[in-house]
Amino acid sequence: MIHLVIYTEAFFFLCLIMSFIYMAYNAGFAPRELSRLDIRSAGVYTVVLIASSFTLHFAEMGYSRGKPAALKAWLIVTIVLGAVFLAGQGTEYGRLIGDNITMNGSVFGASFYTLTGFHGLHVVIGLIILLIVLILAFLGDSRSAIRTIAPYWHFVDVVWLFVFTVVYVLPQFSSI
Amino acid sequence: MPQPFHIVLLQAVEDPASIQAERINHLFNHFNIVAALVLLLVIVLAAWFSIRYRRRHGDNSEGSPKSGNRTVEIMMIGVPTLVLAWFFYEAFTVGNAVMPSSNPTRPPDIVITGHQFWWEADYPGSHVVAANVVHLPVGKELLMELRSADVVHDWWVPQLGNKMDLVPGKKNYLWLTINKPGDYIGACSEFCGEQHAWMRIHVVAQSPEDFSRWLDSNAVDASPPKDDLARAGEMLFQTRSCANCHRVAGTPAAGVAGPDLTHVGSRPTLLTGMLSTNERNLADWIDHPQEIKHGAYMPEFLFAKDSVLALAHYLEQLK
Amino acid sequence: MGATIKIPEPASPFPGLGVETEQGLLQWICAVDHKLIGIMYLVMSLLFFVIGGALALLIRVQLAVPLNHFLPPETFNQFFTMHGTTMIFFVAMPAIFGFSVYFVPLMIGANEMAFPRLNAFGFWMTLFGGLLLYFSFLAGGAPDAGWFNYAPLNEKNYSFHKGIDYFSMGLLISGIGSVATSINIIVTVLHYRIPGMKLNQLPLFVWMVFVNSFLLLAAFPSLNAALALLLLDRELNAHFFNTAAGGSALLWQHLFWIFGHPEVYIVILPAFGMLSEVFQVFSRKPIFGYAFVAASSVAIALLAFGVWAHHMFAVGMGNVANSFFSAASMLIGIPTGVKIFNWLGTIHGGKIRFTTSMMFAIAFLIEFTIGGVTGIAFAIFPIDWQLTDTYYVVAHLHYVFIGGTISGLLAGLFYWFPKITGRLIDERAGKWFFWLFTIGFNFTFFVQHILGMIGLPRRVYTYPNLPWYGTLNFVSTAGAMLMGVSGLVLVYIIWRYGRSGKPAGTDPWNAYTLEWATRTSPPPLKNFEELPAARGYRAWWEMKQSGLDGGAAVSQKEIEP
């Protein structure tokens, strides 16, 4: 079932990414604004998010090997890493807004906040569900909820790789 | 070429007056023949099978258990594919003949800008700026550039051929080779707001000599007012904010938000065909525009009756 | 066939609801039973059909004569926008979901959908989305930029009042319902089939709905993205579609039509499925070319994503793009045409019973072909350049939507009426409805092809007194009035015979698929206690032939259409 959710959300992100690229080529993004992106710090937070996929995988292994302690521990680490990613996004947003790059100020602003914002929203949803799974684990519930949330979380990470590439990496190489 | 669908004589897709319209009409006729045959086949089969295989009273048996025939299936895929391949070839050739390029290098002969809810026509190379009634010469391959000042509009004159959108932020192009002089009616064909229905098009196609004469007579400044009432009207026009939206060449009025009024008196109709051009209608329009064309950007000015009559008198003389 | 299989009961009993409970309105509001939810979808669809139809009648009154003053332009524009939006999102889609959630479990031998509460959630989201959209009438005006709502006309500076915001929110909400239901359908078909019913031998209605669900899950995200970006523009002053600030009017069109074109296949594929069942049962024959009908549905679903820009031939994309989309649009006509000939092949050699249901099916063959060939006219892009955005399109779309989807839904309604209500309609009343509707429909829309060819653009609140404009419009309005009357007859038929028609028994048509195997009509709360392992897409028929039905089948001669 979760794979169907991933299937439909994949199309949603495809549309948002294509819109971002369309806006980049249509009116174009101001180089001044693009240069305000901090690829280094975004890169660090990317690593954090990718790490959270690995820790979630360890949590899932803990579940399937009947080791609830491992499940709970790695779940906590995953949630913390996800929260760190969001905090990083938040500081990036704060810095950019301070630089006067806003949703309504420019086409770049609108496109950037929309694409990264919808991704962030999916991270928030994932964190909420991970928290619920964690609470269920603490209550001794042995149902396989983690098997359902794991593909979703990995999907959110993969989407971030695409978003990171399109928003942070590609502008370094092309002249949009 | 026989015209099997020649139902009406006026202003139809089936009544082409340009080379582009002729090519499309030709293709459309081919298509109509094939489509009619396909439809006839389906109707005949459906009717025949319905009658032939209807259940007779008291017969409760099943139908034949046959449930497929590979040959028939392949034919049903193969034959339509061949027919459509032929139409694709026609589409490709006619499409490229009618629209040789969407990024032409030569300058356009006329630039049409769409506004809510009127048409602006600029003739590069001369200083003529007209509105709503578009004069064009016959016999030449004209390049028309299409732009929009606000929302998406669409230029369509059926007898002159294909339509083309006017998209804000984009320049589009149409080729027109009109072959008969005459009046051709069209309409905006992309919903553009409240008065989309009254953004109609009137093209006056003229012989090259007549067209030049028209161009020259429209390139001159507005004729000065001939009597006191008209002079009063001109003064009102210049001082009471009409000039902010409307241009009258040769006077300080240079507004571009509304239609150019330099030669408004010589246009056959107002408001893209809603009213004939005469003093009475001009007065009504100035007096209560929102009652006549609600949603147009002409404000309700609340002029005094005398002012309205003076303005109308002045404008009617701008020929 | 092997031993019978016990059909599993849902894991935990529904809280507070006994099996025979009758709690009135509360039962409906709390319903998670797929049959109750199916009925709610169908009632919702009928309600919005009457409202959307009333809007159409008002539009046709305004257009009956030239230069009419019945409706002011702003009201007219709100009415045609709401008419289109209602018919697609709140009539066609709920009707399809209603039949799907009611009959897919039954036809695969299951007792419930995979996720009953998600099923209810899907229904209520669809309903609330519709109510939110209609609330706009009370909140400053309904949306008025057309159902495809082009930019930049849909931006705040051109559409000041809140109608378009209600449009965006209403469609986003009902879209969530659609996505939830599609996921539900896919999981149900994948995991709840009775053993022996293989995926490549599903009844065609189930197969079409299954394929359709994948199509829907891929198409709706594009609409959601478009609406999200529009709301950001309108509420937070972003500039996605605002050309004056660097946005793109065409981005809206691409995002919308990437959804919009698959959407029309989303509303037709289930109708194709219903018609496939109807043609078989009322010709007393298996479907002609099962594999081709099933495979062509997949072809249509895939190709649906390659044709969207045929709605944009006139925006100036250039002839390379135009040619590509033209070829793809012609290509998609082929699997569709294949089906028409397969249905004709089904009735060939049959013993046709002209029930009301079958009459709609046969009318569909002709009407949908008309709609289909005019669609090919548009695929030939130079012809599109003359006819797009005219009444020729209005004629085309109504022939495929009404002649196609609605005829299919009506064929399905009259076919399944005895199973849902347990009663038969009076076939004479049904025939009256059929003829009023069909004659009215054809009078309304056939002349619109001609109106388009003589220069009448679409979405105009009035037109000048040019030759034939008044006459043809008047004929069209007269036809619409006839359709309006037929709508009343439909409501009467459903009301009267749903409550007091002749009892139908479990299998009045001596049909082929498992929904007719329930021990009562309407089916009991638990659909099946046990069933033999099924085989083929006519599982119930196979069971009856092998005597496994315990003689439950009603003898055919008791029913005379």
Residue of C nearest to A107 (CA): C239
- Asked, for residue B195, whether it belongs to a domain, the answer is no
Name the nearest CA neighbour of C437 among C481, C471, C391, C374. C481
DSSP C507-522: -TT--SSGGGGSSSSS
Which of A3, A5, A15, A103 to probe by mutation at the C interface, max C CB count within 10 Å? Answer: A15
Is any Cβ of chain A less than 8 angstroms from the Cβ of C451?
Answer: no
- Mean pLDDT on C447-475: 95
pLDDT at residue A96 greater than cutoff 80: yes
d(CA C205, CA C515): 12
Is residue B222 within 8 A of residue B318, CB to CB? The reply is yes
Is residue C448 within 8 A of residue C473, CB to CB? The reply is no
pLDDT at residue C332 greater than cutoff 70: yes
Task: Please report the pLDDT score of residue B1 as a whole number.
Answer: 32
d(CA C66, CA C56): 17
Chain C residues whose beta carbon lies within 8 Å of the beta carbon of residue B27: 380, 382-383
- Mean pLDDT on A37-43: 91
Residue of A nearest to C219 (CA): A11
Is any Cβ of chain A less than 8 angstroms from the Cβ of C179?
Answer: yes
Chain C residues whose beta carbon lies within 8 Å of the beta carbon of residue A29: none
Would you call B13 and C389 a contact, using CB atoms and an 8 Å cutoff? no
Is any Cβ of chain B less than 8 angstroms from the Cβ of C461?
Answer: yes
- Total number of domains in chain B: 2
Top-confidence residue, A28 or C34: C34
* Min distance C281 CA to chain B CA atoms (Å): 10
Would you call C249 and B193 a contact, using CB atoms and an 8 Å cutoff? no
Would you call C248 and A27 a contact, using CB atoms and an 8 Å cutoff? yes
Q: What is the ipTM of this complex?
A: 0.94
Name the nearest CA neighbour of C255 among C228, C237, C217, C232. C228
Is any Cβ of chain A less than 8 angstroms from the Cβ of C339?
Answer: no
Would you call C251 and A110 a contact, using CB atoms and an 8 Å cutoff? no
Q: Domains in chain A, start-ordered, CATH in brackets?
A: 1-11+66-168 (1.20.120.80)
Task: Please report the pLDDT score of residue C23 as a whole number.
Answer: 63
Would you call A103 and C232 a contact, using CB atoms and an 8 Å cutoff? yes
- Asked, for residue B292, whether it belongs to a domain, the answer is yes
All partners of chain B with 3 or more CB pairs under 8 angstroms: C
Task: Please report the pLDDT score of residue B4 as a whole number.
Answer: 34
Q: Domains in chain C, start-ordered, CATH in brackets?
A: 28-558 (1.20.210.10)
Tell me the per-residue pLDDT of C172-229, one tens digit each, with 9 for 90 and over. 999 999 999 999 999 999 999 998 899 999 999 999 999 999 999 999 999 999 999 9
User: How confident is residue C232, by pLDDT bands cut at 50, 70 and 90?
Assistant: very high
Is residue C271 within 8 A of residue C404, CB to CB? The reply is yes
Residue of A nearest to C258 (CA): A15
* Min distance C266 CA to chain B CA atoms (Å): 23
Is any Cβ of chain B less than 8 angstroms from the Cβ of C374?
Answer: yes
The CB-based long-range contact list for C494-497 (8 Å cut-off, 24+ gap) reads C494/C46, C494/C417, C496/C429, C497/C417, C497/C421, C497/C423, C497/C424, C497/C425, C497/C426, C497/C429
d(CA C271, CA C343): 13
- Asked, for residue B264, whether it belongs to a domain, the answer is yes
- Rounded percentage of chain A residues whose pLDDT exceeds 90: 73
Residue of C nearest to A21 (CA): C251
Look-up of token digits 């199973």: C419
d(CA C331, CA B15): 30
- Asked, for residue B3, whether it belongs to a domain, the answer is no
Domain endpoint, select from B72, B98, B124: B98
Task: Please report the pLDDT score of residue C5 as a whole number.
Answer: 64
3-state secondary structure of C478: helix
Is residue C150 within 8 A of residue B152, CB to CB? The reply is yes
Structure tokens at C180: 């939830």
* Min distance C335 CA to chain B CA atoms (Å): 8
Would you call B53 and C348 a contact, using CB atoms and an 8 Å cutoff? yes
Q: Which residues are within 8 A (CB) of C78 and not within 5 positions of it... i.e. 6 or more apart?
A: C137, C141, C142, C143, C144, C163
- pLDDT less than 70: residues of chain B: 1-11, 13
Look-up of token digits 């006619």: B94
Identity of the residue in C114, C222, C246 whose CB atom sits nearest the CB atom of A11: C222
Chain C residues whose beta carbon lies within 8 Å of the beta carbon of residue A118: 228
All partners of chain C with 3 or more CB pairs under 8 angstroms: A, B
Domain endpoint, select from B63, B78, B98: B98
Which of B19, B25, B53, B198 to probe by mutation at the C interface, max C CB count within 10 Å? Answer: B53
pLDDT at residue C425 greater than cutoff 50: yes
Chain B residues whose beta carbon lies within 8 Å of the beta carbon of residue C315: 152, 165, 167, 170, 172
Domain endpoint, select from B62, B81, B98: B98
Would you call C239 and A106 a contact, using CB atoms and an 8 Å cutoff? yes
Chain C residues whose beta carbon lies within 8 Å of the beta carbon of residue A111: 240
Identity of the residue in C347, C369, C381 whose CB atom sits nearest the CB atom of B42: C369
Would you call C152 and B152 a contact, using CB atoms and an 8 Å cutoff? yes
Q: Residue C151, by phi and psi: left (phi above 0), alpha (psi -120 to 50) or beta?
A: beta
Mean pLDDT of chain C: 92
* Min distance B11 CA to chain C CA atoms (Å): 6
pLDDT at residue C324 greater than cutoff 60: yes
All partners of chain A with 3 or more CB pairs under 8 angstroms: C
- Asked, for residue B153, whether it belongs to a domain, the answer is no
Tell me the per-residue pLDDT of C55-98, one tens digit each, with 9 for 90 and over. 999 999 999 999 999 999 999 999 999 999 999 999 999 999 99
Identity of the residue in C369, C385, C555 whose CB atom sits nearest the CB atom of B39: C369
* Min distance C473 CA to chain B CA atoms (Å): 15
CB pairs under 8 A between A and C: 83
- Mean pLDDT on A57-82: 92
Look-up of token digits 């006329």: B110
Tell me the per-residue pLDDT of A114-150, one tens digit each, with 9 for 90 and over. 999 999 999 999 999 999 999 999 988 777 789 999 9
d(CA C251, CA C240): 8
Would you call A106 and C246 a contact, using CB atoms and an 8 Å cutoff? yes
Chain B residues whose beta carbon lies within 8 Å of the beta carbon of residue C146: 191
Is any Cβ of chain B less than 8 angstroms from the Cβ of C365?
Answer: yes
- Give the up-direction half-sphere exposure of residue C161: CA atoms within 13 A in the CB hemisphere: 13
Determine the length of chain A.
176
Burial of residue C200 (number of CB atoms within 10 Å: 0-12, 13-18, 19+): exposed
Q: Which residues are within 8 A (CB) of C2 and not within 5 positions of it... i.e. 6 or more apart?
A: C532, C533
Would you call C232 and A1 a contact, using CB atoms and an 8 Å cutoff? no
pLDDT at residue C12 greater than cutoff 90: no
Task: Please report the pLDDT score of residue C22 as a whole number.
Answer: 58
Which of B23, B39, B167, B202 to probe by mutation at the C interface, max C CB count within 10 Å? Answer: B167
Is any Cβ of chain B less than 8 angstroms from the Cβ of C345?
Answer: yes
Is any Cβ of chain A less than 8 angstroms from the Cβ of C229?
Answer: yes
Chain B residues whose beta carbon lies within 8 Å of the beta carbon of residue C380: 27, 31, 87-88, 90-91
Structure tokens at C16: 């507070």
Task: Please report the pLDDT score of residue C11 as a whole number.
Answer: 47
Which of A2, A4, A116, A159 to probe by mutation at the C interface, max C CB count within 10 Å? Answer: A4
Would you call C255 and A15 a contact, using CB atoms and an 8 Å cutoff? yes
d(CA B186, CA B160): 9
Would you call B200 and C464 a contact, using CB atoms and an 8 Å cutoff? yes
Is any Cβ of chain B less than 8 angstroms from the Cβ of C329?
Answer: no
Would you call A110 and C240 a contact, using CB atoms and an 8 Å cutoff? yes
Identity of the residue in C220, C236, C255 whose CB atom sits nearest the CB atom of A19: C255
Task: Please report the pLDDT score of residue B13 as a whole number.
Answer: 67
- Name the pTM for this structure: 0.94
Task: Please report the pLDDT score of residue B10 as a whole number.
Answer: 43
Task: Please report the pLDDT score of residue C27 as a whole number.
Answer: 82
Structural domain of B88:
19-98
Task: Please report the pLDDT score of residue B2 as a whole number.
Answer: 34
Measured in whole angstroms, the distance separating CA A133 from the mean position of its chain's CA atoms is 19
Would you call B39 and C158 a contact, using CB atoms and an 8 Å cutoff? no
- Asked, for residue B277, whether it belongs to a domain, the answer is yes
pLDDT at residue C8 greater than cutoff 70: no
Is any Cβ of chain A less than 8 angstroms from the Cβ of C258?
Answer: yes
Q: Which residues are within 8 A (CB) of C42 and not within 5 positions of it... i.e. 6 or more apart?
A: C94, C95, C98, C99, C102, C413, C420
Would you call C221 and A11 a contact, using CB atoms and an 8 Å cutoff? yes
Rounded to 5°, the CA angle B303-B308-B312 comes to 150
CATH code of residue B235: 2.60.40.420
Structure tokens at C319: 């002839």
Phi, psi of B241 (to 5 degrees): 75, 0
- Asked, for residue B213, whether it belongs to a domain, the answer is no
Tell me the per-residue pLDDT of C13-64, one tens digit each, with 9 for 90 and over. 444 445 555 567 888 888 999 999 999 999 999 999 999 999 999 999 999 9
Name the nearest CA neighbour of C424 among C344, C541, C504. C504
Tell me the per-residue pLDDT of C396-407, one tens digit each, with 9 for 90 and over. 999 999 999 999
- Asked, for residue B67, whether it belongs to a domain, the answer is yes
Is residue C101 within 8 A of residue C38, CB to CB? The reply is yes
Positive or negative, the Cα torsion across B1, B6, B10, B11? negative
d(CA B247, CA B249): 6
